[in-house]
């Protein structure tokens, strides 16, 4: 009983534990499930919110521009990263984390963004397949064309084999008539080469299409097309040649042909005439001359004239025959080897006759002249000896001509069977027709193929570090150099061979958003045409390396700005108003886009040089302005770039500076560009009131970010903008009717340390700095300085009258052009100086931290944000105001540290840690007491 | 609970003195809260009087100082505490279990757990109180790292709000780590074993998950690891971005581990 009770108690305790255990396990699983559900829901975009404590001013933020682009894309955006490089210069460890941050930011910003990070070979293969699938339809067409070419080529050697064998047969037969034609060997060799080339191309195509990676159909088809067309062209040439040869053979084999008969008759006539000539003047070997040379010379002149006349007729006849039967000119006997001095040349038979005729005609004339001018007897006798030599040569040459032409005619009647068989085969249209038709089909199939972007992608996708951006069933691959461009391209170019580690800056935001933008929009937004006035130096000076005369912003130094514009979905072109020929004409914008003109300051006229008497150089003037007016008349937007123009030095002293569009902007837009003023930021002197020194950092990198609420500048407020050679731009008091001007970037009246100085004032300040008087300080000269407020960038609009359409198709039934509505014309005038040229945009920004002896030199990344203003202005002008935004921010960096700083900081941190330990020790001791 | 009894607890500072504080108060209501506050204060006091806490503090500060000089204060690199925060988060995987290892395990070892179990305070309140005590100490430890912020500000211009976001993240991450540590401490009477368990659990959610998120063979595995990766969630905060998803992750993780700890402690009643 007791045992049973104990057992029951034990069972009861076990059961209770089991019950509790089960209860707790279920509870834990339930809580785990709730935790998972809560987390799952919390990750859903609709329930997720993010607070940006940095207010957008951090390197780990999406730029506003990228956010706008993402918002504008309809449908899903796929971003796949493959960063697997182990090369220290491009390692995943160093360069992937920031990219991952960016991708995560994008994913968290918009639920349509799907991000994948890949790094295994299998994943890469899947990615390749996916990219390939996106182009499947077009790729299939390319593949079909390749298959057609391959099947056509496969049967080609068999089809050409009989012909090749026949050719080889006559080439090895020394007696074969056609074998003596060198052209046959040339055609044979070419066709042989083409067939070999086909085999090589097939292998290359195999590698391109069925090798590793994405098939490169486009490249494969280009190779096929080239090889196919070469073979087709060579076969066509061979076909035509054989056709001609067949005709020639048929012609020559007719012994009774009119040409043959006539030639033989003429040879008889010619022979008699030549004999008469020799008889008239005497044997060349005979040294004796008649006592009375006059009759001999008279006979000679007559005979020579007769032979010459016959030869001229014969040349005409032979040439006519050669024209009708061009393949005769390929006959090996048609040419003669003639020695002229040390040179040996080939001369066609008709030319030999021509030369003989010319020689005879000249000598006959010479004999007549000698007879008519009462020349002494001994001289006439000497002439007889000379004419005998000449007549001997004529006789010899006639013999050569006779032998050659007779051989040609005789050989033609005895064409061997092998040659006849070849000509019979090759002369038939069918021999080549089938092959040429098939090759023609291949050529047509390839010509009809649509463009395939897969090749470019195939190349890019093999790189170790890349980002694949997919949207709207399109794909772009962003390369490593685009995500991580070199921090200081100018310095890198100068030390190209250096083995130092390349410093890079993260530009993934722009690179990825640029790829998205180009996919989200079928066409570019506008064509940006940079308009310069650059004149070429004279040719002799060009050879000496003299560069074109350019303004302060040369067209070839805008590469970085153009690249940024292209990333912002614009096309760029150039128009040189000072160019020659077609180069001076306004380029057409890309189809489907509006033009936006960017007028660069034209080259200033060169100062006159009294030492050189040269005509005045070509200068920017009214003809160029008229072209500008014509370009803008249809309402195209324009940006006028202006810079501070220092005076030019000449032998007569400084010349006043100039700005080519000054008058134009005043008259048409009421905007005054103060190009002879430069904006300066000064530092008040702490010892003398009203005296100043220059801020060294800001001489070449003037910080100016006081944007107004105009759409162009509004998103850029509080951004770091650095400018070079800035000049003020102001609206005139009386602006033309209808023009509305708004400031975009200005210098406010409260800016006490900013003003503009004219060239005289700049000279005065330079003098003060050079001499170092009164601590190298200067005062403000009210005569030369211009006080703020004033603007640096202005935007202006006006309505323009419609321009009569020249297009006939747009005229109505009565032949009248429908009246176009008035359009709004917009311009932006930027006094932002030289801030957009490559040497400025690609250079790191020098920085001095601290003061006096403690000042440290450091550099910041190049001033990339300046271009944001320009891009926003282009968006505004092209009517894409919704795209106006701020690009990625620049990150505050740790400056260069003085030597020993790190040791000091480390000591502080160690001491601080020890303090904590000591405090603990003290607490322990106090507690023990 | 009176102010006098609270003072008594602080003075005693031992597990055996705890019983004196619970003078018949129930586990819920005002006196329950008071008891919880008392346990929190006692836990805090025991940490402040513990040599191990100062050693942990010293090592933590020394290593963060090394990371600060070697990685954060690098000319040309970004002027932010981000890298240091990430390193600190990794260091906490070892540092915090050393602080939490004795929180409950010591009660088991000394037998004072029996007194605690009979006290009019719920198991959950005991666990939460121990958690809060350690969290406050941890916050004090974090405060000592502000010296790095001051040093960075001397040489560069870090964005203050981003630094603040990093500290918010460290508090949330620390909370989850402490909860895991308390849970581990509930599982055994041996402090070192508790520390080891906590380190292992945290290593799974940090280093292993981080590795899995980076190098996991399958995409789904990387996705899962990426979500479980505490360091990944923390990186948002170190960037100055407060993400509700990450906040929920840390809070729910903390609550889950505290719940587990409560259940483990509770199981002593029926095992």
Question: Closest Cα of chain B to A570: distance in Å?
Answer: 32
Q: Does B3 touch chain A (CB under 8 A)?
A: no
Chain A: residue whose CA lies nearest to B147 = A909
- Which A residues 283-322 touch B at CB under 8 Å? none
What's the rounded mean pLDDT across residues A120-149?
82
Q: Do A52 and B240 form a contact (C-beta atoms < 8 A)?
A: yes
What token pair was written down for A670?
């009421």
Q: How far apart are CA A357 and CA A390, in angstroms?
A: 12
Q: Does A72 touch chain B (CB under 8 A)?
A: no
pLDDT on residue A207: 86
Q: Does A31 touch chain B (CB under 8 A)?
A: yes
**Residue closest to A127 by CA, chosen among A451, A458, A452:** A458
Residue B20 has pLDDT above 50, yes or no: no
pLDDT on residue B19: 35
Question: Given an 8 Å threshold on Cβ–Cβ distance, is B227 in contact with A42?
Answer: no
Question: Given an 8 Å threshold on Cβ–Cβ distance, is B73 in contact with A905?
Answer: yes
Question: How crowded is residue B114: how many other Cβ atoms within 10 Å of its Cβ?
Answer: 13
Of A38, A49, A920, the CB nearest to B54: A920
Q: How far apart are CA A748 and CA A553, in angstroms?
A: 27
Which pLDDT band holds residue B111 (cuts at 50, 70, 90)? confident
Question: Which of A108-112, A580-584, B257-261 has the largest mean confidence?
Answer: B257-261
Tell me the CB-side half-sphere exposure of residue A57, using CA atoms within 13 A. Answer: 17
Q: Does B76 touch chain A (CB under 8 A)?
A: yes
Q: Does A29 touch chain B (CB under 8 A)?
A: no
Query: What are φ and ψ of residue A554, in 5° steps?
Result: -70, 145
Of A20, A53, A117, the CB nearest to B164: A53
Which pLDDT band holds residue B25 (cuts at 50, 70, 90)? very low
Question: Given an 8 Å threshold on Cβ–Cβ distance, is A916 in contact with B54?
Answer: yes
Of A31, A58, A920, the CB nearest to B159: A58
What is the rounded average pLDDT for all residues in chain A? 83
Question: To which residue do tokens 């004409």 refer?
Answer: A585
pLDDT on residue B223: 84
Residue A592 has pLDDT above 90, yes or no: no
What is the rounded average pLDDT for all residues in chain B? 84
Q: How far apart are CA A463 and CA A440, in angstroms?
A: 38
Question: Which of A122-136, A526-540, B2-16 has the largest mean confidence?
Answer: A526-540
What's the rounded mean pLDDT across residues B139-155?
93
What token pair was written down for B66?
């090394």
Question: Given an 8 Å threshold on Cβ–Cβ distance, is B155 in contact with A897?
Answer: yes
List of chain A residues whose C-beta atoms are within 8 Å of the C-beta of residue B271: 17
Question: Closest Cα of chain B to A892: distance in Å?
Answer: 6
**Residues β-bridged to residue A188:** none
pLDDT tens-digit map of A556-566:
899 999 988 98
Mutual angle of helices A217-253 and A429-447, in 10-degree steps: 160
Residue B3 has pLDDT above 80, yes or no: no
Q: Does B55 touch chain A (CB under 8 A)?
A: yes
Strands (E), A359-514: 465-471, 474-479
pLDDT tens-digit map of A650-671:
666 677 788 999 999 999 999 9
Q: Does A925 touch chain B (CB under 8 A)?
A: no
Question: Given an 8 Å threshold on Cβ–Cβ distance, is B253 in contact with A47?
Answer: no
What token pair was written down for B3?
């102010």
Q: Does B242 touch chain A (CB under 8 A)?
A: yes
pLDDT on residue B24: 33
Q: Does B51 touch chain A (CB under 8 A)?
A: yes
pLDDT tens-digit map of A135-182:
777 888 888 889 898 888 888 888 888 778 778 777 777 778 887 787
What's the rounded mean pLDDT across residues A675-684?
90
Look at A370-374, A581-585, A657-661, A666-670 and tell me which has the smallest mean pLDDT.
A581-585
pLDDT on residue A498: 54
Q: How far apart are CA B208 and CA B254, in angstroms?
A: 19
pLDDT tens-digit map of B222-236:
888 989 999 989 988
Question: Which of A12-16, A712-716, A893-897, B198-202 has the largest mean confidence?
Answer: B198-202
Question: Which of A159-163, A341-345, A694-698, B155-159 has the largest mean confidence?
Answer: B155-159
pLDDT on residue A421: 78
pLDDT on residue A8: 59
Question: Given an 8 Å threshold on Cβ–Cβ distance, is B252 in contact with A39?
Answer: yes
Instruction: State the pairing for strand pair A754-758/A677-684.
Output: antiparallel
- Which A residues 115-154 touch B at CB under 8 Å? 116-117, 119-120, 123
Question: Given an 8 Å threshold on Cβ–Cβ distance, is B244 in contact with A47?
Answer: yes
**Residues β-bridged to residue B78:** A893
Question: Given an 8 Å threshold on Cβ–Cβ distance, is A906 in contact with B66?
Answer: yes
* Residue in B53, B56, B61, B84 to test binding to A, most A beta-carbons within 10 Å: B61
Question: Given an 8 Å threshold on Cβ–Cβ distance, is B244 in contact with A891?
Answer: no
- Which B residues 123-142 touch A at CB under 8 Å? none
Question: H or E segment at A528?
Answer: strand A526-532
State the complex-level ipTM.
Answer: 0.85
Q: How far apart are CA B157 and CA B155, in angstroms?
A: 7
Q: Does B239 touch chain A (CB under 8 A)?
A: yes
pLDDT tens-digit map of A389-424:
888 888 888 888 888 888 888 887 788 878 877 877
Which pLDDT band holds residue B127 (cuts at 50, 70, 90)? very high
Residue B265 has pLDDT above 50, yes or no: yes
More confident residue, B191 or A609: B191
Chain A with chain B: Cβ pairs closer than 8 A:
177
Question: How crowded is residue B110: how many other Cβ atoms within 10 Å of its Cβ?
Answer: 14
pLDDT on residue A715: 84
Q: Do A870 and A723 form a contact (C-beta atoms < 8 A)?
A: no
Which pLDDT band holds residue B123 (cuts at 50, 70, 90)? confident
- Which A residues 446-505 touch B at CB under 8 Å? 503
What token pair was written down for A38?
């809560």
Q: How many helices (H) and strands (E) does chain A have?
A: 28, 27
**Residue closest to B121 by CA, chosen among B47, B182, B37, B44:** B37
CA angle in degrees (0–180, nearest 5) for A785-A788-A789: 150
Local structure of A717: helix, strand or coil: coil
**Residue closest to A755 by CA, chosen among A662, A711, A690, A710:** A690
pLDDT on residue B60: 95
Burial A845-864 (b: 16+ CB within 10 A, else e): bebeeeeeeeeeebbbbbbb
Question: Closest Cα of chain A to B48: distance in Å?
Answer: 8
Question: Given an 8 Å threshold on Cβ–Cβ distance, is A50 in contact with B69?
Answer: no
Question: Which of A32-41, A535-544, A856-865 has the largest mean confidence?
Answer: A32-41
Question: How crowded is residue A549: how many other Cβ atoms within 10 Å of its Cβ?
Answer: 20
A773 CB-contact burial (10 Å; exposed 0-12 / middle 13-18 / buried 19+) = exposed
- Which B residues 81-110 touch A at CB under 8 Å? none
């Amino acid at each position: 009983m007791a045992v049973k009770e104990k057992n029951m108690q034990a069972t009861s305790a076990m059961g209770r534990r089991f019950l509790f255990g089960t209860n707790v396990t279920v509870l834990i699983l339930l809580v785990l499930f709730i935790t998972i559900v809560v987390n799952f829901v919390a990750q859903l975009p609709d329930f997720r919110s993010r607070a940006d404590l940095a207010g957008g001013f951090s390197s780990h933020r999406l730029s506003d521009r990228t956010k706008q682009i993402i918002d504008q894309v309809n449908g899903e955006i796929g971003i796949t990263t493959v960063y697997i490089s182990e090369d220290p210069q491009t390692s995943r460890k160093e360069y992937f984390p920031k990219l991952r941050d960016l991708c995560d930011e994008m994913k968290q910003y918009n639920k349509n963004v799907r991000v994948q990070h890949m790094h295994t070979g299998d994943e890469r293969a899947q990615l390749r397949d996916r990219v390939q699938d996106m182009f499947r339809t077009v790729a299939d067409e390319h593949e079909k064309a390749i298959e057609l070419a391959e099947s056509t080529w496969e049967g080609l050697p068999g089809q050409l084999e009989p012909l090749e064998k026949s050719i080889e047969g006559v080439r090895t037969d020394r007696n074969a008539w056609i074998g003596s034609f060198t052209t046959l060997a040339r055609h044979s060799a070419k066709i042989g080469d083409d067939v070999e080339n086909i085999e090589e191309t097939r292998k290359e195509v195999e590698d391109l299409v069925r090798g590793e990676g994405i098939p490169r159909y486009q490249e494969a088809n280009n190779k096929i097309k080239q090889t196919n067309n070469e073979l087709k062209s060579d076969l066509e040439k061979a076909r035509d040649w054989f056709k001609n040869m067949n005709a020639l053979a048929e012609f020559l084999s007719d012994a009774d042909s009119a040409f043959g008969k006539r030639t033989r008759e003429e040879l008889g006539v010619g022979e008699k005439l030549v004999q008469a000539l020799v008889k008239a003047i005497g044997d060349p070997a005979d040294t004796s001359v008649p006592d009375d040379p006059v009759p001999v010379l008279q006979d000679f002149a007559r005979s020579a004239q007769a032979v010459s006349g016959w030869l001229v007729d014969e040349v005409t006849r032979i040439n006519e025959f050669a024209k009708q039967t061009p393949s005769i000119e390929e006959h090996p006997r048609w040419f003669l080897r003639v020695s002229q001095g040390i040179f040996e040349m080939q001369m066609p038979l008709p030319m030999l006759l021509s030369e003989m005729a010319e020689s005879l005609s000249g000598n006959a004339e010479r004999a007549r002249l000698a007879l008519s001018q009462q020349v002494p007897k001994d001289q006439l006798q000497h002439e007889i000896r000379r004419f005998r030599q000449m007549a001997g040569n004529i006789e010899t040459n006639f013999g050569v001509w006779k032998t050659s032409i007779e051989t040609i005619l005789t050989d033609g009647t005895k064409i061997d069977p092998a040659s006849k068989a070849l000509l019979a085969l090759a002369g038939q249209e069918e021999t080549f027709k089938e092959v040429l038709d098939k090759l023609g089909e291949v050529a047509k199939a390839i010509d009809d193929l649509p463009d395939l972007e897969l090749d470019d992608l195939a190349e890019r996708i093999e790189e170790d570090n890349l980002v694949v951006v997919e949207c709207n069933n399109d794909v772009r691959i962003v390369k490593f150099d685009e995500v991580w461009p070199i921090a200081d391209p100018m310095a890198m170019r100068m030390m190209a061979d250096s083995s130092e580690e390349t410093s890079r800056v993260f530009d993934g935001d722009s690179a990825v958003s640029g790829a998205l933008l180009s996919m989200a929009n079928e066409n570019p937004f506008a064509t940006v045409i940079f308009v310069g006035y650059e004149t070429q130096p004279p040719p002799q000076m060009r050879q000496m390396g003299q560069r074109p005369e350019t303004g302060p912003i040369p067209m070839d130094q805008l590469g970085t700005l153009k690249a940024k514009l292209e990333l912002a979905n614009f096309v760029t072109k150039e128009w040189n108003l000072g160019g020659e020929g077609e180069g001076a004409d306004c380029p057409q914008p890309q189809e489907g886009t509006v033009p936006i003109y960017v007028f660069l300051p034209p080259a200033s006229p060169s100062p006159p040089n009294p030492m050189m008497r040269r005509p005045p150089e070509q200068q920017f003037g009214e003809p160029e302005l008229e072209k500008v007016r014509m370009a803008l008349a249809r309402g195209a937007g324009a940006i006028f770039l202006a810079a501070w123009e220092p005076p030019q030095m000449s032998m007569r002293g400084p010349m006043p500076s100039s700005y080519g569009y000054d008058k134009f902007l005043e008259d048409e837009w009421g905007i005054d560009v103060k190009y002879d003023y430069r904006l300066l930021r000064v530092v008040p002197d702490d010892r003398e009131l009203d005296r100043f020194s220059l801020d060294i950092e800001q001489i070449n990198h003037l910080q100016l970010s006081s944007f107004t609420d105009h759409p162009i500048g509004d998103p850029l407020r509080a951004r770091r903008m650095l400018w070079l050679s800035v000049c003020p731009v102001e609206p005139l008091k009386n602006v033309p009717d209808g023009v509305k001007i708004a400031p975009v970037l200005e210098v406010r009246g409260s800016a006490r340390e900013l003003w503009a100085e004219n060239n005289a004032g700049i000279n005065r300040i330079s003098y003060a700095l050079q001499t170092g008087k009164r601590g190298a300080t200067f005062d403000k000269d009210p005569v030369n300085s211009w006080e703020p407020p004033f603007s640096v960038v202005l935007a202006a609009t006006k309505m323009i009258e419609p321009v009569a359409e020249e297009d006939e198709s747009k005229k109505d039934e009565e032949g009248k052009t429908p009246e176009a509505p008035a359009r709004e014309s917009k311009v932006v005038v930027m006094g932002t100086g030289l801030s957009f040229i490559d040497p400025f945009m690609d250079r790191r920004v020098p920085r001095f931290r601290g003061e006096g002896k403690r000042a440290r030199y450091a550099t910041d990344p190049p001033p990339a944000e300046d271009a944001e203003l320009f891009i926003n202005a282009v968006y505004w002008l092209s009517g894409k105001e919704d795209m106006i935004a701020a690009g990625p921010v620049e990150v505050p960096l740790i400056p260069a540290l003085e030597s020993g700083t790190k040791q000091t900081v480390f000591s502080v941190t160690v001491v601080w840690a020890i303090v904590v330990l000591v405090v603990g020790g003290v607490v322990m001791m106090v507690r023990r007491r | 609970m009176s102010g006098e009894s609270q003072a008594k607890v602080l003075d005693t500072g031992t597990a055996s003195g705890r019983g004196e504080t619970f003078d018949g108060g129930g586990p819920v209501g005002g006196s329950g809260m008071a008891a919880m506050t008392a346990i929190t204060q006692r836990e805090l006091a025991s940490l402040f009087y513990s040599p191990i806490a100062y050693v942990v503090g010293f090592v933590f500060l020394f290593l963060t100082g090394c990371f600060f000089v070697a990685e954060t204060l690098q000319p040309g690199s970004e002027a932010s505490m981000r890298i240091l925060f990430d390193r600190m988060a990794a260091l906490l995987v070892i540092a915090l279990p050393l602080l939490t290892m004795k929180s409950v395990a010591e009660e088991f070892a000394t037998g004072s757990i029996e007194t605690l179990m009979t006290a009019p305070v719920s198991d959950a309140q005991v666990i939460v109180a121990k958690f809060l005590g350690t969290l406050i100490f941890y916050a004090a430890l974090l405060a000592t790292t502000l010296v790095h912020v001051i040093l960075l500000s001397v040489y560069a211009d870090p964005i203050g709000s981003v630094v603040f976001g990093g500290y918010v993240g460290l508090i949330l991450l620390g909370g989850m780590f402490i909860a895991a540590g308390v849970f581990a401490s509930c599982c055994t009477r041996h402090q070192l074993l508790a520390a080891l368990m906590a380190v292992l659990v945290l290593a799974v959610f940090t280093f292993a998950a981080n590795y899995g998120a980076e190098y996991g063979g399958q995409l789904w595995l990387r996705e899962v690891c990426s979500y479980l990766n505490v360091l990944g969630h923390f990186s948002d905060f170190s960037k100055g971005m407060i993400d509700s998803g990450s906040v929920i992750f840390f809070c729910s993780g903390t609550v889950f581990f505290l719940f587990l700890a409560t259940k483990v402690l509770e199981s002593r009643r029926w095992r």
